[in-house]
Amino acid sequence: MAKKRVKKTKKSVRKGKSSILKSTNIKKKTGLIWKNLVLFVILFVVSLVLYSASGSDLYRDLFFVLSIFFGFIGLAFFIALLVYIFLKYLK
């Protein structure tokens, strides 16, 4: 009767690598959130300045809607940044 071969499983060191990947992943996402937050805050300020400087009613309405749009997106990125900072300090 032939003996069956049993494959030995190698223990992997995935726990250490996954924690390193998660920390670098959080840093990348935080940097991405910062860049987008700064971009939309700048666009918000520019649209507000153009809103106050424009003379025509059509341009005033357009820049007003754009400033509201960019303001809400900037606020969303600010909330996302606060969530990531909160999660980072909870660990």
- Residue spans per domain, the chain: 21-90
pLDDT (mean) for 8-19: 57
Residue of higher predicted confidence among 34 and 9: 34
**What confidence tens digit (pLDDT) does each residue in 32-87 have?**
889 999 999 999 999 999 999 988 999 999 999 999 999 999 999 999 999 988 88
Q: Of 35, 65, 34, 33, whose CA–CA distance to 47 is shortest?
A: 65
pTM for the predicted model, two decimal places = 0.67
